[in-house]
Structures are given as structure tokens and as C-alpha cells.
């Protein structure tokens, strides 16, 4: 029985066959040179999604480009930057202000914030000038120098804070506190804080390349031994008692001075009043003397003669009204004139009306 060798071709070329046994042909838009380009682009996009060959650096950060383990000396500034995956990588470091708080365990709480910019360490234990133990609580603010970030990470690593800031702060605090006696620390707190801040700033600035920039310092607490605290408390109580006694003495002195001032004021007022009365009397006496002088100067012989005539006229009128008068007497140089009633020999009637007993 003969065999048809073209059966395969016939089956493949049969019109309307639904079987997929034919050769694969790519879509028309992928055929040719443009299709190859699109294919390459698609592959690159997939690789980009998988390997992510770019990085976005935010404000307050810098990037350090590492090529086969070697850091680039220039930091990458905020923005988008591309790199070669596998061969290169970018380390992003924070350049915002960081802080280390040295606190007691009861106050420590969490070890820091969720951004890693705040660290909490135990307080610093130091010795005073006599070897007594002192506990110091403080806070230090600092930040990474952005321009020196590659050098800092290359030299100190990612834990540069524990290698630069923390040892320096502890050393400065020990050296400064060691210059004072424990009982001097509370009264010289401001001076001590100023010295610690100045020495921390100088210490950070003296490090080669200046990898860290000092920002702030706060001396929170100086914890003294119990017996020193008791001694200081006794001294303070004694000072308060002395101040209270001094205040009482001053108050008594002020009260006495007040009373003396009031008494002096009353005495001065009386003296002034007496002087015023005396002055008034003197003025009055002078005025009266002056009036008498003026009156005396105004009495002239002519005026006396006129007054004598007036009186004589009144006497004459009186004699006319009194017919019982027997004798009229005018003694020499007598003024006023007198008359005698013969019926009342023991009485003398003065012109003008009254009687005076003889």
C-alpha cells in the first residue's frame, strides 16, 4: 500500500484547521529593527524594576557612592542619582541634628526616637577633686558634617557617633568636674556648664577633617552623694536662719527709724507752729506799736484843744439838764472836766455817763 509522504504538509496547510501545529511567528510590531529596540527597552525596564539602579536623596541627607567597595570622596546631594547595580551602591546618611541624652535608668524610657536621631545613654559617673562619686546628666546636640560624610564613614564607620561624640563628651565631663569639690558644684553650675560646652566644641573642632559639627549642650542635673547633700542642706538652713535674723534686725531698725522720724516730724511741726505763733505775736506787737506811734504822732495841741472844747460843750449840756449841780470844778491839767453834785458829795460823775466811787 503506497504511503503519501506529503500528508504533514497537507495537514499544516489545510485551510481552516484549528490545530496549532504550525510555526510561531512574532507579532508584526515586533518584527524588524524597531521590534528589537522595544525588546531591549522592555528588558531594561524589567531589570530596572528588579535592581533599581537609582536612588532619591532627601533634604537633610547625603549619599555616599561606593564603587566595588571604594567610597567616592564627594557626597551626593539631595535629588535623584543613578548608579550601576551590583558594581555600585549608595549609602544614605542623615545630616540632621542628632542628640545624645545621658539619663538615669528611671528616666531613660526608650533608647531613642524612631528616626535614630536621639540616643539615650546612662548618666556619666565622675569623681570630684577629692575623689567623691558624682553623677552628671546632660544632653549634647550635634550633626554629621555633610561635606566630610565619605571620610567619616570610611574612617569611623556607620557607628561614628559612638566613636567620636560619646567618648569625647564623657572625657570632657570627667576633666571639668574633677576640678571642683562636690559642695561647690551646685553654686558653680553655670560656670561648669560653660566649661563643658566650650571643651566639647573645641574637642570636636580639633578632630582631623572636622567630621562632626557641634550644635547645643544642656547640663540637666548634678547628683551629689547623700552625705554631701545633707551637709549642703545644713549649710543652707544655717544661712536661711542667719538671713532671717538679719531681716528681723533690719526690720527692727527700720521700725525704730520710722518712729524716730515720726517723733522728729511732730517735734519739728510743734517748733514750726510755735515759731509761727511767736512770729504772729511779734508782727501783731510791731503793728500795735506802730499804731500807737502813729496815734501819738497824730495828737497835737490843736487836736487836744479841739477835744477839750467838745468835752466842755457836753459838760455844759449836762449842767443844763441837771439843775441840782451847785459847783463846777475844773482842776488844772485835768481831762476830762469833772463836776460835783452838791447832793451827792461822795460821787463824781464823769462826762459820758458812769459813776466812780470816791
Coil/strand/helix, residue 346: coil
Average pLDDT, rounded, for the chain: 79
Identify which of 197, 58, 72 has the alpha carbon closest to the alpha carbon of residue 115: 58
Whether residue 327 lies inside any domain: the answer is: yes
pLDDT at 9 > cutoff 90: no
Whether residue 8 lies inside any domain: the answer is: no
Do 116 and 154 have their domain in common? yes
pLDDT tier, 173 (very low <50, low <70, confident <90, very high otherwise): very high
Coil/strand/helix, residue 142: strand
Do 150 and 57 have their domain in common? no
Do 114 and 220 have their domain in common? yes
Non-local (6+) Cβ contacts of 124 within 8 A are 102, 135, 136, 137, 138, 169, 170, 173, 174
Which CATH number fits the domain that encloses residue 170? 3.30.479.30
Whether residue 105 lies inside any domain: the answer is: yes
Cα(167)–Cα(30) distance, integer angstroms: 65
pLDDT at 26: 58
Which of 27, 60, 94 is the last residue before a domain boundary? 94
pLDDT tier, 329 (very low <50, low <70, confident <90, very high otherwise): low
Q: Which residues pair with 328 in a beta bridge?
A: 339
Do 217 and 105 have their domain in common? yes
Do 151 and 267 have their domain in common? no
pLDDT at 122: 93
Span 202-222, pLDDT tens digits: 999 999 999 999 999 999 999
pLDDT at 355: 44
Domain count, the chain: 4
How big is the chain, counted in residues? Answer: 358
Do 321 and 337 have their domain in common? yes
Do 176 and 84 have their domain in common? no
Q: Which residues pair with 112 in a beta bridge?
A: 119
Q: Which three cell numbers stand for residue 334?
A: 485835768
pLDDT at 275 > cutoff 60: yes
Do 106 and 216 have their domain in common? yes
Torsion-angle region of 251 (φ positive above 0: left; ψ -120 to 50: alpha; else: beta): alpha
Span 281-312, pLDDT tens digits: 888 888 888 887 777 777 777 777 777 788 77
Helix/strand/coil percent split, the chain, to 5: 50, 20, 30
Cα(140)–Cα(97) distance, integer angstroms: 10
Whether residue 247 lies inside any domain: the answer is: yes
pLDDT at 332: 53
Which of 298, 320, 338 is the last residue before a domain boundary? 298
Do 293 and 307 have their domain in common? no
Span 102-161, pLDDT tens digits: 998 755 554 555 557 889 999 999 999 989 999 999 999 999 999 999 999 999 999 999
Identify which of 199, 175, 189 has the alpha carbon closest to the alpha carbon of residue 222: 189
CB 335 within 8 A of CB 309: no
> What are the backbone angles phi and psi of residue 348, rounded to the nearest 5°?
-120, 125
Do 118 and 205 have their domain in common? yes
Do 215 and 103 have their domain in common? yes
Which of 200, 224, 248 is the last residue before a domain boundary? 224
Non-local (6+) Cβ contacts of 357 within 8 A are 346, 347
pLDDT tier, 1 (very low <50, low <70, confident <90, very high otherwise): very low
pLDDT at 264: 87
Q: Which three cell numbers stand for residue 142?
A: 550635634
Question: In whole angstroms, what separates CA 19 from the centre of its chain?
Answer: 93
Whether residue 217 lies inside any domain: the answer is: yes
Q: What range defines the domain where residue 342 resides? A: 302-357
Mean pLDDT of 37-58: 77
Whether residue 3 lies inside any domain: the answer is: no
Whether residue 20 lies inside any domain: the answer is: no
Do 117 and 207 have their domain in common? yes
DSSP alpha helix (H) spans, the chain:
7-13, 33-51, 105-108, 149-156, 160-177, 189-205, 226-298, 301-321
Q: Which residues pair with 212 in a beta bridge?
A: 144
pTM strictly above 0.75: no
pLDDT at 333: 52
pLDDT tier, 30 (very low <50, low <70, confident <90, very high otherwise): low
Whether residue 21 lies inside any domain: the answer is: no
Amino acid at each position: 500500500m503506497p504511503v503519501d509522504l506529503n500528508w504533514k504538509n497537507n495537514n499544516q496547510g489545510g485551510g481552516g484547521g484549528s490545530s496549532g501545529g504550525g510555526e510561531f511567528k512574532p507579532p508584526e510590531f515586533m518584527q524588524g529593527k524597531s521590534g528589537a529596540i522595544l525588546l531591549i527597552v522592555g528588558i531594561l525596564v524589567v531589570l530596572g524594576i528588579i535592581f533599581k539602579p537609582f536612588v532619591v536623596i532627601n533634604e537633610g541627607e547625603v549619599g555616599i557612592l561606593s564603587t566595588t567597595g571604594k567610597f567616592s570622596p564627594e557626597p551626593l546631594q539631595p535629588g535623584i542619582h543613578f548608579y550601576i547595580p551590583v558594581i555600585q551602591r549608595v549609602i544614605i546618611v542623615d545630616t540632621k541634628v542628632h542628640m545624645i541624652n545621658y539619663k538615669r535608668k528611671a528616666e531613660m524610657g526608650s533608647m531613642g526616637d524612631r528616626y535614630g536621631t536621639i540616643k539615650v545613654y546612662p548618666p556619666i559617673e565622675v569623681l570630684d577633686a577629692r575623689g567623691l562619686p558624682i553623677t552628671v546628666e546632660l544632653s549634647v546636640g550635634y550633626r554629621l558634617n555633610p561635606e566630610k560624610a565619605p571620610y567619616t564613614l570610611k574612617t569611623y564607620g556607620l557607628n561614628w557617633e559612638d566613636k567620636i561624640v560619646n567618648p569625647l563628651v564623657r572625657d570632657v565631663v570627667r576633666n571639668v568636674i574633677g576640678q571642683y569639690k562636690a559642695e561647690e558644684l551646685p553654686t558653680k553650675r553655670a560656670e561648669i556648664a560653660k566649661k563643658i560646652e566650650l571643651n566639647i566644641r573645641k574637642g570636636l573642632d580639633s578632630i582631623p577633617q572636622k567630621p562632626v559639627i557641634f550644635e547645643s549642650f544642656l547640663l540637666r542635673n548634678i547628683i551629689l552623694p547623700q552625705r554631701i547633700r545633707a551637709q549642703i542642706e545644713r549649710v543652707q538652713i544655717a544661712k536661711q536662719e542667719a538671713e532671717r535674723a538679719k531681716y528681723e534686725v533690719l526690720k527692727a531698725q527700720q521700725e525704730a527709724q520710722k518712729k524716730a522720724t515720726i517723733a522728729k516730724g511732730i517735734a519739728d511741726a510743734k517748733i514750726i507752729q510755735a515759731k509761727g505763733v511767736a512770729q504772729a505775736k511779734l508782727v501783731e506787737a510791731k503793728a500795735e506799736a506802730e499804731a500807737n506811734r502813729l496815734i501819738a504822732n497824730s495828737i497835737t495841741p490843736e487836736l487836744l484843744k479841739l477835744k477839750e472844747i467838745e468835752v466842755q460843750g457836753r459838760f455844759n449840756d449836762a449842767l443844763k439838764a441837771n439843775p441840782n449841780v451847785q459847783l463846777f470844778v475844773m482842776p488844772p491839767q485835768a481831762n476830762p472836766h469833772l463836776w460835783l453834785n452838791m447832793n451827792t458829795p461822795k460821787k463824781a460823775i464823769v462826762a459820758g455817763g458812769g459813776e466812780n466811787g470816791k
